[in-house]
Each structure stands twice: as structure tokens, then as C-alpha cells.
Chain A
Amino acid sequence: MSYSASRLRTLSITLIGCLIVAGCAASAKNSIFFGKTEPPRDNILRYVSGSEPETIDPQIPNAQNEARICLALYEGLAEYDPKTSEAIPALAERWEVNKDSSEFVFHLRHDGRFSNGDPITARDFVYTIRRGLTPETGSRTASFAYPIKYAQAFNESDVLVFDSATKIYLLEKDFEEGNSQTLAAMPLSSLPFKSIAEEYPVAPAGNSAMDTAFHQFMHSPARLVLPKSEKDRKKILDKNPKLNNAVAGKQFVPVKAEDVGVEAVDDYTLRISLSQPAPYFIGMMPHQFFRVLHQKTIEKFGPAWTDAANIVTSGPFKLESWKYYDRIVVTRNPMYWDAGNVKLDKIIFYLLAENTTMMSLYKAGELDATYNHTVPSAWLDVIGPLKDFMDAPEAAIDYYNFNTTKGPTADVRVRKALNMSLDKKALADWRHVKALTAMTPDGIFPGYPQPKGDPFDPEKAKRLLAEAGYRDGAGNFDPKKFDATEIELITNPDSNNLSYAEFILAQWKQNLGVTIQLRPMEAKTFFKAQSALDYKGVSRTGYAADYTSRCSTKPIAQSIISNVINYWLRLNNCCWTRSP
């Protein structure tokens, strides 16, 4: 999963921790620290963010190792708050939101500059968002911009339907299946524009009141969008005869970059129109997909624009060198608008993925900090109590899926029994994490408590299994009747995944007397087996949040319901959070 706000927090906390450790503890006894505690020679942070990045083009990759490097190199309209992870002003000094959160006006700071000295204007943001959505860019995170009007249609290379006789486009609202959308249900951004004062609780200043032609286009009802490929289009048309008739003889016009709802009202005012109300949209602005890029460099060098010789960045650091598979060095960007507050001269990102190698480097004093989850599980008992171990909270969950389509786990009683025979609290205490009963941990959103879930109750678990048919003559649960070879636990073999899995298997052994096999699989083989439901019993998933909003966890809920476990929500207390 991609960049998580709280991981940034971890980074900054770890960083501060290390500087303090390095600065004042040189004379302290080494035994209370895991690493070497000599003060560093230079003002340089030596850090590990994971393996070699796919690219440092922030709009393409979707993993965390790249995200942390992109954070140093690029700046967006907003930045993550170091404490709460919420969006705080960055290149946008302030912003206004209309009454139903379907249109946003950003006011850019006038002193924003790229690393080559070019000013950063609203036009650069328009370019950046359009470029990320262009199908040829191949962005893995383009769907983050889908709330923007026509963004999804452009990214999917869809077409609009144009009637050349009447010179008008067909509209979506005329062909809605079921009830056609009433005017009241439509977002403000798709209704005729009245006035700034009526639509905005706080009226935006300056030119943002300007009702441009593009703005009027945005405020007109959404046009009908159809797939470009004839085959896909036919599927939709066949289902909707009314639509099929209306489309006959009409012209198909591809959705263009210029149709996407981003507009530079003037040099320093950016207006973004959404296709639906989305209060969470502002929380996504710090995401790397929305961080501003330099148009001329990208157009001049193509994919080679990220080479150290060519790259132009917008963040607090610029790229000094990238030695592939070895290290990326970023150095202070003097053009950065807040350069005065950048304390580090350089950051060296060592590009490596082996946890034990990182730990060795750290212990030998070659490294100042690493990203989270790098302490191998088995070492946690030794390293956990030491002073340079940072235990910062993180919004990430681990959970186990049951395959409900075959084997014993097709029976809800078996799933409940396996769940209720796990002492999650013991696991959580052992691994410094929190036991969960739902996807959204307590405290992430005020007033959003977790459902209770089933309690730890091995006796009831045994009764359920007996009911499910695994019983002896007396009607009691008989582990011998339970064919454990029909169930296995599959996971990708990250060392921590394995130690969690072993703990869980030991619990099942201890509480139910059944021995379930662990089958570690190479990552991509595992993901394939998992999504194809090609496994017996139980599989493991992990997920980290990208931005703060209730919606951030929605995609998993969907994917679980659609392709992993149908009854998950009824049995959803098999997950917990992890911290580093």
C-alpha cells in the first residue's frame, strides 16, 4: 500500500529520536541503546526507506519506499500535519470549499519555486493533475483523482456522445437507471452557477469569483460517458434500450485532458470541480499523486526526466545523485519557499530491503534510522525496551481472510470457532500492537467506535465445531474428527508475517487441539492465489492508510466483500493493528 501519513510521523519521530540519541548520549552506557551512539560528523540523515524505488516520478508508483523519497523531493497544495496527518497548507496558503464539498478553490503562495528557480503557478498544478491522469503515464494511483469531474473518464479513455445535428452532448442524468437524478440530489458543482456568496460559506477572495467559460462547463450537468472499446460499450447499451436508441447515429468524442475539472483561474488561484461531494478530497491533497511537477523538464526529457542530471523538484530537497541499488542522495533545495526551516543538509536513502542487514548497519553506526517494521519480530523482545527503539502509532492493519467458497471454512461455525479460539489480546501484548474487531481502529475518527465482535471463548469455539459435525459419540468436539489437512494458512514470507502466523497456529493447537499447516508463498504467487481464492482455509492481508478519512478504508471493504470473504463483516474480529 502506498504512503501513509502516520508513517511520515514515524519518520520524523524516529529522526528526532536519533538526533537526540546521537547528540547527548555519546557518553551514556551503550547497553541501553541498540546502535552506536557517537555524534554524527555532518548534518546528514542516513536513512533506509526500503528497496530500490521503481521510479522517483511521484505519480507512477504506489508503494511506501518511493513515497518517503518523493515526500522529500516534491511539494503539493497541502502537506500532512506532523501530528494529526491532516492536510495543512503548503504550496496553497489557504483554500475555500463550497457548501457541499464538491468544489475547491486553492490560493497558492506567491513565493513557491521549483528547484531551478521557476515560479510554481496554478498552471503547473493543472498540468500535473492532467499528466497523472493521462493513460500513457501509467500511474498506479490515478484513481486517487477520480472524484474530479471527468477524471476517471479521461483516465479510462472513455468517450462522450455528441449529437452533430443539435450540437449538444447527451447528459448522464437523462439515462440514469431507475430513478433519474433529481436536481436536489445533484452536487452544486453540476448545477448552474449562482454566485460565490450563495455557494461558499466563506467567500473566496480575488479572481476566484470569476465565472469563466470552463467554470460554466463544469457547472453544467454531467455529460454521458461511455467506454471507448465497442465491445465494452455494447455491454452497457444492450442493458439499456433507451440509451441504445439515443446513441444511434451519434458521434463519439474522446474525453480530453482539457475536460478534467481543474482550472487555473489566474496564476495563483486553482479551482477543482468534483463530480460528487467529497469532503475527504482535501485530505488527499498531500498525497504524492498531487505533488507539483515541472512541465518543461518532463516534456523535454521524457521518462529520463528523473535522472539526476535532468530532474527539477518542488520540495524541500533536490536530487543530488541516484546510485542504483545502492543509495539516493538528496540535498537541501535553496529555492524551496520554506528553506529556512529545513534543518538537514542532506538525506542519504540507502536502498536495501533485508531487515537483518538494516539492523546490522544501524548497530554498526552506519545508519541513523530506518522505516517502520524493520525490527525482525524475533528481536523485538531484545530491542523493544532499548532507548533508541521508537514505538510510534501507525494506521495499519493485519487481518486474516477465510475462504468461504470451499473446505471446512465454508461453514460459518468453523470460521467463528477459529476466530473465537484466538487470544488476540495475548498476541497484541506480545507484539506491541492493538487488537481490533473492525477495519477502522478506535480513535482514528472521534465518535466512531468499533463493533464488539466475538469474544475470546475457546469453549464456545469447541461447541461450534461440535455442532459443525466434528464430534465424538458423546457429542463433544473431537480434534481427531477435524481434518486439519483441509485447512492451511497461507502468507507471503515476510519474517513478521511468519511469526504472527506461528503464534496463531500455536493458539489453535493449544485451544482446539488442531494442527493447521503454515504455507509461506513467494509474494506475487501468494497475491494471485489469494485473489483467485486458490487456497484452502486462511490467508493473510495487511493494509496501511493513505490519507485520513473514513473513505480511506473503503476500498478494502469493497474488495473483501467482492472477492475474498462474503461473511467477513459478520465475523470481522480477526484483525489488529501493528506498530513498528
Chain B
Amino acid sequence: MSNAVAQADHHAHAHHPAQQHHFDTMPQQKEAAVLGMWVFLLTEILFFGGLFAAYMIYRVWYFEAFAEASRRLSLFWGGLNTAVLIGSSLTMAMAVRGAQTNKRTATVNWLILTMILGAVFLGVKVIEYQDKFANYEVPGATYNWMYHDERAAAAGGEHAAPAPGAAHRQLALSPGQLQRTTQIYFSLYFTMTGLHALHMIIGIGLMSVITWMAWQGKFDDQYYTPVEMSGLYWHFVDIVWIFLFPLLYLVERHQ
């Protein structure tokens, strides 16, 4: 048995304080973390993938209902949030850059800015959800598709005027059909954006820990893996939104 396993010649180097005992080298440790993070993001794709599959099927089946329901979302708030998130991806990338180049203060500042942008996004989401609750557009027993139009009509004046382009749209669906099938749209809307928002909240939580670590000077050009990993996560959450925005807000809104 003695020659079955030869002992490799591994002499001890001066170890970086962040190197864990079961890794031989820092690059090995980093490669493991990067691969692990990408595999994790793969599971996230599959996680959201189930919802996207459901969305795709129902959108094909009930396209008109989805198009109508999509018009109930605010392009302004959705567009603003898209811009905010893309901006936060930029600040996140800057934070990683700061960590790679040993710039402690810059890293911390960029991370804080990223968290602020994330919080802005969530704040806007609260405003949007609030509007849905106020208009009985949350699926369930109280869901009322007609309420939005009725309230607009009751308000009278210019608010009663149909939305731009509405005159051209000839709906094949009765209010009863819309009442049923638009609930599927809003069920998906709340589940998808809700899970996305949950990922944002987790991301902000992660980042506050990373910010604290960065502030304490735990990172340098040899070891910035946690910053980079939370960056990957943040970009992923951003990309999910890049898909959610057109799928939910822009269903046939070119008219």
C-alpha cells in the first residue's frame, strides 16, 4: 500500500489571514467561491424559471387580459425603478473595483450608495403595491377589475377620459372574463415582483455585512471575494428585474 499514495511536496507558504485551512492556496479558495456562487445563481435561474414558465403559458392563453392588466401598472414608476437598479449595478461594480484596488473608503461609499439605491427601489415598490391595494387589484376575494374604471368615471372630468389609444382597442373580452383572467396576471405580478423584492432585501442585508467588513479593512487586492460575490448576486437580482420590467409593464404598450 505504501506506493499507492505518494505524499506531495507541499511546503507551507505565508498564509493570508483569510485563507481557510482546507484550501492549499488563495486562488484555489477564490475559484471555489466563484464557482459556488455561479452554481447558486443557476439555482436562482431555475427558481424564477418556474414562474417565468407559468407566465409564458398564461400570457399566450390570455394575451388580451395580460395586455389590459399590464396597462394598470405605472410606466413612470416601473421605468424609474429600472433606471435605479441599473444605476445600483454600476455603483456595485465600482465597489468591487474599489476593493480590488485597496481603496477602503471608496469601497464603503459605493456599497452604501448601492444600498441606498436598493432602498429607493423598494420604496417605489411600496408605492406601487399601495396603489394596487387601493384599487382592489390584489387577487383574491376582494379583487375587482372594474373598480379602477368606476372610480375614474366617478371622479369625472378629464380623469374620465379613456386612456390614450384606448379608443382603438376593441376588447374581445367581457368584464366578467377580465375579472377572472386578469387575476392570473396579478397573481404572477405579485409573486414575481414580491420574490424579486425579497431578493433585494436579502441583498441589502448581505451588503450591510460586507460594508461593515470593508470598513474594518478586511479586504485587499488579495482577498475581496465577499465583495465580488455579493456583486454577482446583486447583478443577478438586477437582471431578473430587466426581464420582469418588459414582461409585466410593457405587454403591448406600444399603442
Instruction: Tell me if chain B binds chain A.
Output: no
